[in-house]
């Protein structure tokens, strides 16, 4: 009784980036396309800033910082949770840096980077105790409330955080090896390097047994428990890792702007992050980046109608959920698969 | 004594707002993040009605008209939402959550564009107050508390004594069993959405009559509703009511002792504390 | 291997399992039988850690496991399957079985080369043994019920359990599928795995199991070999005395 449920290898290939088996490392057309696009993107990334106006350069820097933030968010979603506290935790990193680099403490920017990651990490680890007992909706709601509480404390502890006025005159990083970071272009390369390193780290983490276990827990928690996986621990690791990355993003965000206040970490930025994840999709690393790119393009295109932008984002989110729930990445992937199929057919026809 | 008045007043507001959300979640198993925006729209309806009828009709009448118009139109809007978006995404409750998140921004932007980003204040419609030795009770607040009390009683009667109401509760407790009994899930969902959204508008009108209305009042209120629902217990309607009163008492006390600005933090900490020991809230029995 | 001593679990005022005691011996296929609502599922969940006992002790090879969380109990060598078959639907059969090796590969951080070789050999063995080799690269969610069932057993086997708990492994299968899965279960026992089953199909239970315990209303009413159980008047009454009719 052989049932005709056979699917083609393309399905399995889609999960190639997560499978540890050697069979999917074979060089094929898809790999060439991938390599070409990575090189193209790298080229663009390296030289783009010189082509842009001052304003656009700043947008580019903020875009890269947001990419870092969104990558951190995706890490949390790999364990199945959609948090709403992400940008508030980012703020923790921001305030850590902003406070410590002030004159009275005089800590070097470079030291505040790991400190901010640690601060965000510790907070999220503590938060995970109550919050990871929940799933799905309740996780969303409880992180919503926790994030709001955190933001409120940014407003309330005026002595430390400057309250609603925040902290200004945040100094740029000290020079390293003679390279100063006062200019936008040098700052761009700084955040670009950090983001690329983090992205590579996450790709490796995803493909490792660690990352796969987290995916397993997200797929089927009951089963994972029964085969000995400490689901609580793995979910917490994803949550803490993603939050630590948010903390680092927060450092750059606040530092680049030179000024922060609690409003920066409110629900509109959080919505942007979530929208990027939904519109782009979270299965791959580049999915949320694609989503963020789309949202940022929208924002820049409608610059003169800036107030309408959240509405456009909202419409985009609803549209994707209805028509392409797996996000832009799935549209891109199936498009590329079909290209590959047609090119293969072309090859066959010619030979 | 004044504090007691404030507590009751705040309880009334929290209960009506959270109850609508809890109802929708309990029955339809999905959170409407745009709930806050429906609440906000209710408030704006009040403002509009005031603008139109001011001076023509006495205050209390304006209030009643606003209630009728507001609850019905916003309720219908909610129904429309349920029939369109919720139906389409019916199989993915989490997608509905995200879609309503997007929707809330759409509504906010529309309100800001067509009415204006600044808040609007609504003049007191029930003028005057009772003054005793120990306290002052504005009639407005009295009316608000009274109306909430009436609404909750009506809701309670509806849910426990009427057939449609009991059907709603049946679905909330056991959706599959309800279907097997021949209950139309679609109809119950529609009805629940109508009532739940109407309740949101109702609380929006009540609060609008006391404070001002502004495009972001929904988001301000929503997170508190979340805390209330989580503490009360997911899917539990009485739980939501009890938690609402609890937090109203807590917040009023904090306000009275001059620690009002710490209220959001303390509320959230309380929620996290409860969650640590009762992952399903105080009265949650779901799952 | 597994000993239950007066295990009780209450839900409110109702005791779903009440003072239940029995013993599963090493290397046997042990059956847990009882009419609907007798407490079989509760007993299963108690043993595997998905529920905590209200009273009593559960011992695995002399160590107390009552009240431990499921993943810890799995770590002690007790692995279970689920009545509603649970697989990693998005992954292939092979990927499912690979994930099952989580425990024996130790910490998740190790991806040392020689562990990789062990993994592949182990997967091959399991795939061949349970006749899943030809479905190796199929997506688990798309498999028919019988194969999914076998896959869940394969994934459990990857943990190298001392005791395998199978929750209604034959439910919903047709006759030939039942024979196939039943055959695999016997084979596992022959290879040294102790197995405990919960099943409704009385006939299959009688032929598969070495020993049985029959419970009703959460209490043991008989324990012993199939031929004794078959003749036990309490057992007959428990099954036939109920209006649901006979099970077979």
User: DSSP letters along C90-158, please?
Assistant: TSBHHHHHHHHTTTTT-STT---HHHHHHHHHHHHHHHHHTT-GGGTTSBGGGS-HHHHHHHHHHHHHT
**What DSSP state is assigned to residue C47?**
H
A330 in C contact zone (CB under 8 Å): no
Q: How far apart (Å, rounded) are the C-alpha atoms in residues A45 and A195?
A: 12
Whether residue B230 and residue A141 make contact (CB cut-off 8 A), yes or no, is yes
Task: Clarify whether residues A305 and A256 are in a common domain.
Answer: no
pLDDT digits (tens, 9 = 90+) for C184-221: 888 888 888 899 999 888 888 888 889 989 888 888 88
**What is the value of pTM for the model shown?**
0.86
User: What's the half-sphere exposure (Cβ side, CA atoms, 13 Å) at B99?
Assistant: 23
C147 in A contact zone (CB under 8 Å): no
When mean pLDDT is compared across A99-113, A188-202, B168-182, the lowest value belongs to B168-182
How far is A39 from chain B, CA to nearest CA, in Å?
35
Whether residue A321 and residue B272 make contact (CB cut-off 8 A), yes or no, is no
Among A308, A311, A321, whose Cβ lies nearest the Cβ of B98?
Answer: A321
What is the three-class DSSP state of A143?
helix
Nearest Cα to Cα of residue A70 among A199, A200, A218, A233: A199
A318 in B contact zone (CB under 8 Å): yes
For position B284, what pLDDT does the model report? 63
Task: Clarify whether residues A279 and A230 are in a common domain.
Answer: no
Whether residue A225 and residue C139 make contact (CB cut-off 8 A), yes or no, is no
Q: How far apart (Å, rounded) are the C-alpha atoms in residues A86 and A269?
A: 10
Q: What integer best gives the mean pLDDT of chain A?
A: 85
- Give phi and psi for B39, each to the nearest 5: -60, -45
A148 in B contact zone (CB under 8 Å): yes
On whether the CB atoms of residues A102 and A83 are closer than 8 A, the answer is no
Question: Is position A277 within any domain?
Answer: yes
Measured CA distances, B148 to B23, B142, C16, C231 (Å)? 16, 10, 43, 67
Which carries the bigger pLDDT value, residue B173 or residue C100? Answer: C100
Q: How far apart (Å, rounded) are the C-alpha atoms in residues C71 and C77?
A: 10
Strands of the C2-11 sheet, one edge to the other? C14-24, C2-11, C55-60, C63-64
Interface test with chain B among A314, A316, A320, A325, by most B beta carbons within 10 Å: A314
Q: How far apart (Å, rounded) are the C-alpha atoms in residues B100 and B97?
A: 5
Average pLDDT of the segment spanning A56-82:
93
Average pLDDT of the segment spanning B238-267:
84
For position A67, what pLDDT does the model report? 96
B179 in A contact zone (CB under 8 Å): no
Interface B:C, ≥3 CB–CB pairs < 8 Å: no
Give me B42's structure tokens. 């209710």
C162 in A contact zone (CB under 8 Å): no
A5 in C contact zone (CB under 8 Å): yes
A9 in C contact zone (CB under 8 Å): yes
B259 in A contact zone (CB under 8 Å): no
pLDDT digits (tens, 9 = 90+) for B83-126: 888 888 877 878 888 999 999 999 999 998 888 888 888 777 77
Average pLDDT of the segment spanning A243-263:
93
Nearest Cα to Cα of residue C199 among C78, C44, C6: C44
Locate the domains of chain B by residue range. Answer: 2-215
Nearest Cα to Cα of residue C58 among C42, C47, C68, C50: C47
Q: How far apart (Å, rounded) are the C-alpha atoms in residues A41 and A34?
A: 10
Measured CA distances, B84 to A316, B104, C114 (Å)? 16, 16, 56
ipTM value for the complex: 0.87
Across A211-231, b (16+ Cβ under 10 Å) vs e yields: bbbbbbbbbbbebbbbbbbbb
Task: Clarify whether residues A198 and A320 are in a common domain.
Answer: no
Task: Clarify whether residues A339 and A221 are in a common domain.
Answer: no
pLDDT digits (tens, 9 = 90+) for A296-321: 999 999 988 888 999 999 999 999 99
Whether residue C158 and residue A227 make contact (CB cut-off 8 A), yes or no, is yes
- Spell out where chain A has E strands: none
- Check whether A188 has a pLDDT greater than 60: yes
Mean pLDDT comparison of A214-228, B264-278, C8-22, C230-244, highest-scoring range: A214-228
**What DSSP state is assigned to residue A282?**
S
Which carries the bigger pLDDT value, residue A172 or residue A49? Answer: A172
Average pLDDT of the segment spanning A53-62:
87
Cβ neighbours of C144 in A, within 8 Å:
1, 3, 5
Q: How far apart (Å, rounded) are the C-alpha atoms in residues B39 and B70?
A: 10
On whether the CB atoms of residues A152 and B265 are closer than 8 A, the answer is yes
How far is B243 from chain A, CA to nearest CA, in Å?
15
For position C242, what pLDDT does the model report? 52
Question: In the block, which residue shows the tokens 């920066």?
Answer: A264
Whether residue A149 and residue B102 make contact (CB cut-off 8 A), yes or no, is no
A348 in C contact zone (CB under 8 Å): no
Task: Clarify whether residues A241 and A346 are in a common domain.
Answer: no
- Residue A155 domain boundaries: 58-264
C158 in A contact zone (CB under 8 Å): yes
On whether the CB atoms of residues C191 and C133 are closer than 8 A, the answer is no
A142 in B contact zone (CB under 8 Å): yes
Across C75-104, b (16+ Cβ under 10 Å) vs e yields: bbbbbbbbeebbbbebbbbbbbbbbbbbbe
Q: How many CB atoms lie within 10 A of CB A169?
A: 10
- Check whether A195 has a pLDDT greater than 60: yes
For position C107, what pLDDT does the model report? 53
Whether residue B31 and residue A140 make contact (CB cut-off 8 A), yes or no, is yes
Task: Clarify whether residues A97 and A126 are in a common domain.
Answer: yes
Whether residue A145 and residue B230 make contact (CB cut-off 8 A), yes or no, is yes
pLDDT digits (tens, 9 = 90+) for C63-76: 888 889 999 999 88
Task: Clarify whether residues A296 and A180 are in a common domain.
Answer: no
* Total number of domains in chain A: 2
Whether residue C138 and residue A223 make contact (CB cut-off 8 A), yes or no, is no
Question: In the block, which residue shows the tokens 């090879």?
Answer: C61
Angle between helices A54-77 and A184-207 (to 10 degrees): 20
What is the three-class DSSP state of C33?
strand
> Band of the pLDDT at C113, cuts 50, 70, 90?
very low
Average pLDDT of the segment spanning A40-48:
79
Q: Give kind and range of the element (H or E) at residue C223.
A: strand C219-224
Outline where chain C has alpha helix (H): 40-48, 70-75, 93-100, 113-129, 145-157, 175-190, 202-208, 226-231, 233-240
- Check whether B72 has a pLDDT greater than 70: yes
B256 in A contact zone (CB under 8 Å): no
> Band of the pLDDT at C116, cuts 50, 70, 90?
low
Task: Clarify whether residues A260 and A127 are in a common domain.
Answer: yes
How far is A137 from chain C, CA to nearest CA, in Å?
22
Residue ending a domain, among A248, A264, A280, is A264
Nearest CA in chain A to B267: A149
How far is A138 from chain B, CA to nearest CA, in Å?
7
How far is A233 from chain C, CA to nearest CA, in Å?
11
pLDDT digits (tens, 9 = 90+) for C119-135: 888 888 888 888 888 88
Number of residues written out for chain B: 287
Rg of chain B, C-alpha, whole Å: 19
- Check whether A45 has a pLDDT greater than 50: yes
Antiparallel, parallel or unpaired: β B212-213 and B120-121: antiparallel
For position B260, what pLDDT does the model report? 75
On whether the CB atoms of residues A313 and B105 are closer than 8 A, the answer is yes
For position C12, what pLDDT does the model report? 81
Task: Clarify whether residues A207 and A234 are in a common domain.
Answer: yes
Sequence-distant (6+) residues with CB within 8 A of C232 are C214, C221, C222, C224
- Check whether B145 has a pLDDT greater than 90: no
Nearest CA in chain C to A283: C90
Give me B122's structure tokens. 């609504």
Among C71, C88, C108, whose Cβ lies nearest the Cβ of A219?
Answer: C88
Locate the domains of chain C by residue range. Answer: 1-21+52-62, 88-161
For position A247, what pLDDT does the model report? 96
Residue ending a domain, among A238, A264, A290, is A264
- Check whether A76 has a pLDDT greater than 60: yes
Interface test with chain C among A15, A20, A219, A226, by most C beta carbons within 10 Å: A226
Interface test with chain B among A83, A88, A137, by most B beta carbons within 10 Å: A137
Among B223, B275, B279, whose Cβ lies nearest the Cβ of A148?
Answer: B223
Measured CA distances, C72 to A130, B110, C78, C112 (Å)? 21, 54, 9, 24
- Check whether B47 has a pLDDT greater than 50: yes
Q: Rounded to the nearest 10 degrees, how much is the dihedral formed by the CA atoms of A9, A10, A16, A17?
A: 180
In chain C, which among 19-58 make CB contacts under 8 A with chain A? 48-50
Interface test with chain A among C50, C70, C161, by most A beta carbons within 10 Å: C70
Q: How far apart (Å, rounded) are the C-alpha atoms in residues A246 and A238?
A: 12
Q: What integer best gives the mean pLDDT of chain B?
A: 83
For position A122, what pLDDT does the model report? 96
> Band of the pLDDT at B132, cuts 50, 70, 90?
confident
Which carries the bigger pLDDT value, residue B29 or residue A257? Answer: A257
Residue ending a domain, among A215, A238, A264, is A264
Give me B215's structure tokens. 């495009």
How far is C237 from chain A, CA to nearest CA, in Å?
35
Among C95, C108, C144, whose Cβ lies nearest the Cβ of A19?
Answer: C95
A228 in C contact zone (CB under 8 Å): yes
Among B92, B99, B230, whose Cβ lies nearest the Cβ of A318?
Answer: B99
Cβ neighbours of B234 in A, within 8 Å:
137-138
Cβ neighbours of A133 in B, within 8 Å:
275-276, 279
Q: How far apart (Å, rounded) are the C-alpha atoms in residues A73 and A249?
A: 11
How far is C201 from chain A, CA to nearest CA, in Å?
23
For position A5, what pLDDT does the model report? 33
A17 in C contact zone (CB under 8 Å): no
Spacing of C-alpha A105 from chain mean position: 31
What is the three-class DSSP state of C197?
strand
Give me B207's structure tokens. 């609060």
For position A141, what pLDDT does the model report? 85
Q: How far apart (Å, rounded) are the C-alpha atoms in residues A154 and A123?
A: 14
- Check whether A9 has a pLDDT greater than 70: no
What is the three-class DSSP state of B260?
helix
- Check whether C112 has a pLDDT greater than 50: no
Cα angle: B44, vertex B48, B52; to 5 degrees: 170
Among B103, B113, B230, whose Cβ lies nearest the Cβ of A138?
Answer: B230
Average pLDDT of the segment spanning B143-158:
83
Which carries the bigger pLDDT value, residue A89 or residue A25? Answer: A89
Q: Give kind and range of the element (H or E) at residue A166.
A: none
């Amino acid at each position: 009784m052989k049932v005709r449920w056979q699917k083609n290898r393309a399905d399995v290939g889609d999960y190639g980036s997560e499978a540890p088996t050697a069979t999917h490392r074979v060089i094929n057309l898809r790999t060439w396309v991938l390599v070409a696009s990575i090189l193209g993107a790298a080229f663009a990334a390296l030289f783009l800033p010189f082509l842009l106006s001052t304003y656009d350069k700043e947008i580019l820097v903020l875009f890269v910082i947001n990419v870092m933030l969104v990558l951190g968010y995706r890490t949390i979603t790999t364990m199945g949770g959609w948090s709403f506290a992400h940008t508030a935790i980012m703020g923790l990193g921001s305030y850590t840096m902003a406070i410590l680099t002030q004159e009275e403490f005089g800590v070097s920017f470079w030291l505040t980077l790991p400190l901010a990651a640690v601060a965000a990490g510790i907070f999220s680890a503590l938060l995970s105790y109550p919050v990871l007992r929940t799933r799905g909706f309740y996780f969303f709601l409880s992180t919503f409330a926790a994030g709001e509480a955190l933001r409120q404390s940014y407003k309330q502890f005026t002595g430390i955080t400057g309250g609603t006025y925040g902290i200004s005159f945040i100094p740029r990083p000290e020079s390293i090896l003679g390279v100063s970071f006062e200019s936008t272009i040098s700052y761009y390369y700084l955040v670009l390097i950090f983001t690329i390193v983090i992205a590579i780290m996450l790709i490796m983490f995803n493909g490792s047994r660690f990352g796969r276990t987290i995916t397993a827990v997200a797929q089927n928690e009951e089963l994972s428990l029964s085969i000995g996986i400490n689901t609580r621990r793995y979910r917490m690791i994803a949550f803490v890792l993603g939050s630590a990355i948010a903390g680092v993003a927060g450092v750059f965000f606040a530092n680049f702007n030179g000024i922060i206040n609690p409003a920066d970490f409110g629900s509109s930025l959080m919505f942007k992050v979530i929208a990027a994840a939904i519109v782009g999709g979270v299965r791959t690393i580049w999915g949320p980046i694609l989503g963020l790119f789309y949202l940022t393009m929208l924002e820049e295109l409608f610059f003169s109608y800036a107030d309408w932008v959240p509405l456009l984002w909202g419409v985009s989110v609803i549209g994707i959920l209805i028509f392409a729930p797996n996000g832009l990445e799935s549209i891109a992937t199936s498009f590329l698969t079909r290209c590959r199929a047609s090119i293969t057919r072309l090859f066959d026809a010619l030979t | 004594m004044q504090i007691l008045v404030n507590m009751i007043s705040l309880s009334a507001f929290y209960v009506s707002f959270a109850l609508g959300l809890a109802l929708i979640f309990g029955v339809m198993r999905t959170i409407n993040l745009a709930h806050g925006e429906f609440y906000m729209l209710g408030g704006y309806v009040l403002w509009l009605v005031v603008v139109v009828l001011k001076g023509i009709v006495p205050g209390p009448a304006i209030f009643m008209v606003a209630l009728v118009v507001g609850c019905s139109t916003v309720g219908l809007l909610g129904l429309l939402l349920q029939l369109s978006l919720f139906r389409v995404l019916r199989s993915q409750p989490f997608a509905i959550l995200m879609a309503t998140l997007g929707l809330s921004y759409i509504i906010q932007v529309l309100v800001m564009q067509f009415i204006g980003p600044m808040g609007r204040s609504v003049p007191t419609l029930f003028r005057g107050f009772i003054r005793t030795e120990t306290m002052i009770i504005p009639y407005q607040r009295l009316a608000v508390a009274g109306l909430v009390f009436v609404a909750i009683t009506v809701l309670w009667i509806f849910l426990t004594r009427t057939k449609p109401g009991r059907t709603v509760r049946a679905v909330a407790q056991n959706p599959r069993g309800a279907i097997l009994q021949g209950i139309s899930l679609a109809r119950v969902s529609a009805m629940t959405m109508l009532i739940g959204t109407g309740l949101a508008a109702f609380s929006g009108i009540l609060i609008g009559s006391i404070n001002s209305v502004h495009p972001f009042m929904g988001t301000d209120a929503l997170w508190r509703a979340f805390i209330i629902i989580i503490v009360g217990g997911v899917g539990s309607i009485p739980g939501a009511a009890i938690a609402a009163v609890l937090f109203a008492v807590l917040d009023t006390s904090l306000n009275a002792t001059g620690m009002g600005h710490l209220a959001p933090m303390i509320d959230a900490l309380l929620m996290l504390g409860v969650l640590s020991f009762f992952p399903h809230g105080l009265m949650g029995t779901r799952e | 291997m597994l000993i239950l001593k007066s295990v009780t679990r209450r839900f409110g005022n109702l005791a779903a399992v009440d003072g239940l005691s029995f013993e599963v011996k090493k290397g046997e296929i042990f059956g847990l039988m009882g009419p609907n609502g007798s407490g079989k599922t509760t007993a299963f969940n108690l043993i595997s850690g998905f529920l905590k006992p209200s009273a009593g002790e559960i011992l695995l090879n002399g160590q107390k496991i009552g009240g431990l969380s499921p993943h810890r109990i799995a770590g002690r060598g007790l692995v279970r399957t689920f009545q509603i078959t649970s697989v990693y639907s998005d992954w292939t059969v092979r990927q499912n079985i690979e994930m099952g090796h989580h425990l024996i590969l130790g910490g998740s951080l190790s991806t040392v080369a020689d562990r990789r070789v062990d993994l592949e050999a182990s997967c091959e063995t399991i795939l061949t043994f349970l006749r899943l080799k030809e479905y190796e690269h199929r997506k688990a969610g798309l498999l028919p019920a019988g194969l999914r069932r076998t896959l869940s057993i394969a994934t459990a086997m990857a943990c190298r359990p001392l005791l395998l708990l199978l929750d209604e492994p034959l439910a919903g299968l047709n006759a030939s599928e039942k024979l196939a899965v039943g055959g695999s279960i016997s084979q596992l026992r022959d290879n040294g795995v102790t197995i405990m089953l919960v099943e409704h199909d009385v006939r299959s239970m009688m032929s598969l199991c070495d020993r049985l315990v029959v419970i009703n209303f959460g209490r043991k009413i008989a324990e012993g070999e199939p031929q004794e159980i078959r003749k036990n008047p309490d057992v007959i009454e428990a099954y036939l005395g109920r209006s649901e009719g006979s099970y077979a």
